[in-house]
Every structure is written in structure tokens, then in C-alpha cells.
Structure 1
Amino acid sequence: MSFIPTILKEVETVLGKVSEEQLQELAANLQKAKRIFIIGEGRSGLMAKSFAMRLMHLGATVFVVGETITPSIAEGDLLVAVSGSGTTKSVVWTAEKTKSLGCEVVAVTTNPESALAGAANHILHVPAATKYRRENELQSIQPLGSLFDQCVHILFDTICLLFSQLNEVDHADAFKRHSNLE
């Protein structure tokens, strides 16, 4: 039995429910931000870190929350907080703290009614299955939050493409910022 066609169909179903206009708006918000901070835990955190890396390649000033060189967040900065369930305590707390400091918060979650969404100025609703398999979630043959993670990765890469167009960053520009210590 081949699982790849089923997985691709699941991803296509989720992505088909996300508005391209919303992605354009998020790219514009990232462009306006003085600095971008990103947080997520577990596999969602890995997707968040890959997003931070790509934004750096595109010329953004970006930091991953929790890293040793991450400075304090300040007015004009924006936080992208990633949690499939929208209930990951450290992510929710960071979003709440960020909002209390007067900074913009973008929640990336499956649950627009979650605590994370409640702390956000903007929500990227990714209607995928999570590890909790809640009643209203899309069904998936994949374990845990794999579908959410896959879709978030593709959505983040789409936002990066839009961001690169807004900033007129081409492949050569991005390649200059790619690591040369490998």
C-alpha cells in the first residue's frame, strides 16, 4: 500500500482551506516589523526555526525565542507563535507576555478558539489534525501532529516567497546570506 498519495491529499485538503490573502497579509506584517521573534516547541518548534532561518536568508532581522543570543522584545517587533493545539504553555505564556509589552502576535494554530489565539493580534488557522484528534479536526492517517507540521512548513515557505517579493530579494541575494561555514 502506498501512503504518499493519501498524505499528499491530506496536505492538499488543509492548504486548500487557507486563504492566500491571509498569507499575503502576514508577509506584509512581517515586512513592517522592526524585528521578528519566533517560538514553538517540539516539531512545531522545528518548523518555526526553519521559518526563522529562511526569513534570515531573505534579510529579516529574526530571532528564535529561547536561544542564547535572543535579545529582549520591544515596540515595533512581532512574535510568530506556533502551536498546533494552541495550548502549549510556554508558547501561550510568551504570546501573552509579548502582547502585554505592546508588540504584535501572530498565532499559528489549528484552534482559533485556543488560549494562544486569544493572545494574538493575527491568527493563521491551519485546519489540520493534531496529536489530540479533537472532534472538529480533519482526519489523518499520520501519527500525532505530522499533518499540522507538514502544512505549516509549506505555509511558512509560501509566506517567505511573498516576503521575498515584497522586499525584492532574489535567489542570489538569499544565497549570499546562506551559511558558508558548512
Structure 2
Amino acid sequence: MRSIIETVANEMSTVLANINEEEALQLSKELSSAKRIFVSGEGRSGLMGKAFAMRLMHGGFTVYVIGETITPSIEADDLLVAISGSGSTGAMYQFASKAKEAGARVLLVTTNKESKIAAISDGTLIIPAATKYRRPDEPRTIQPLGNQFDQAVHLVLDSIIMGTLKKSESNTDFAEMTKRHANLE
């Protein structure tokens, strides 16, 4: 078991070391300037998106998850963060297209800068990790399916939130975030 844990940790270190800082800073800037943030992803990318949205809420951002019953219409000055390893998920493409039509900005978190969704996005955050497709340009992994992508998305987006809050003037600290944490548990 120790060998597997160490291999996964080494894989993640390699992926995280290859994140483009300018792309991460662009997402941070987009988060800071958005009136409201909308997050979307399908399957496990959607689960990572929900974790990201929760952390944004804890940080004091106005955030919604696409598909929830209380999600309002997206508008100009809003931001859609779409998470798709392939960058070609049909529903994500539709959401990105609709968001652009409404005047919102779109930022794609993906492994594929040349994807269909990337082509219509205002920016991309490339996660240089393996997906379930195992394209030749993806790193090798011992992990099944898109585990490596999912783990990297979670860690990178959490790091971007921490960096964004650190630079903001909101002074959101641990106590403030704790007050926003769910208390109906």
C-alpha cells in the first residue's frame, strides 16, 4: 500500500509543478472581478466543481452550481467556470455557449487547450494530468480513469481560492470562513 500512496503523491507533485502560473493568476483575477460565479462540471468533474463552489462560498463569494434548483440566470459581469477534462463535454459546451450569449465570461478548467470549449472560452486553466481517454500527450499514471485530473483540479482550485483571498481586501480569515460553514449537519 505504501508504494501506491507514494506513487500517487509523486504523480500529483509532478502535475502540480507543471501548472501554468499565469493561467492560475488569470482565474484568480476573474474570480475577484466577477459579480457572481457559476460552476459546472459533469460526473466527477462536477463533484470537484461542487467542492470548489463550497470553498468559494466559505470565502465570501456569491456562487452557484449549474443544475441546482436555486441557480439563477447567468448575466453580464458573471463568470462561468466550466470543468471538463476533455474540454468537449456536450453539456459544458452548451452552458459555455449560453453564458457567452448572456454576456458572461467563461473560463475552462481542462487538459485540452485545443478543445471545442476552449475555443469559445475567455481563458483556460490547463491541468496537465491524465484523463480517462489516455491521450498520448497525457502523463502516465497508475490511477484509473480520470483520478489524476480530479485530484489535481481539487488541489489547484483550492490553492487559487487561497491565493485570491490572500490578495483581496475582504480580510476573510479562518473565523469568517468558519461562520459561513454549514451548521445544519
TM-score normalised by the chain length of structure 2: 0.95
Q: Choose 4-13 or 146-155, whichever is displaced more.
A: 4-13
Q: Choose 21-30 or 112-121, whichever is displaced more.
A: 21-30
Residue equivalent to 1:7: 8
Residue equivalent to 1:84: 85
- 8 Å contact kept, 2:23–2:124: no
| CA distance, structure 2, for counterparts of residue 17 and residue 80 of structure 1 | 21
- Amino acid aligned to 1:171: F
1:63 aligns with 2:67: no
CA positional deviation for 1:127: 0.8
Large movers: runs of 4+ above 6 Å: none
Unaligned runs of 5+ in 2: none
| CA distance, structure 1, for counterparts of residue 22 and residue 119 of structure 2 | 21
Residue equivalent to 1:73: 74
CA positional deviation for 1:164: 1.6
Secondary structure of the equivalent of 2:64?
strand
| CA distance, structure 2, for counterparts of residue 84 and residue 100 of structure 1 | 23
- Please, what is the CA RMSD of the aligned residues? 1.0
| 1:65-102 alpha-carbon deviations (Å, 9 max, x no partner) | 01000000001100000001111110111011111222
Q: Choose 143-152 or 88-97, whichever is displaced more.
A: 88-97
- 8 Å contact kept, 2:88–2:115: yes
Residue equivalent to 2:105: 104
CA positional deviation for 1:25: 2.6
Secondary structure of the equivalent of 2:96?
helix
| CA distance, structure 2, for counterparts of residue 26 and residue 114 of structure 1 | 18
Residue equivalent to 2:38: 37
- 8 Å contact kept, 1:23–1:158: no
Secondary structure of the equivalent of 1:63?
strand
1:52 aligns with 2:53: yes
- Amino acid aligned to 1:152: V
Mapping of residues 142-161 of structure 1, within 5 Å: 142-161=143-162
| 1:114-152 alpha-carbon deviations (Å, 9 max, x no partner) | 111112101000010000001111111100000000000
- 8 Å contact kept, 1:107–1:117: yes
Q: Choose 126-135 or 16-25, whichever is displaced more.
A: 16-25
Instruction: Count matched residues.
Output: 182
1:172 aligns with 2:158: no
- 8 Å contact kept, 2:96–2:121: yes
| CA distance, structure 2, for counterparts of residue 118 and residue 139 of structure 1 | 26
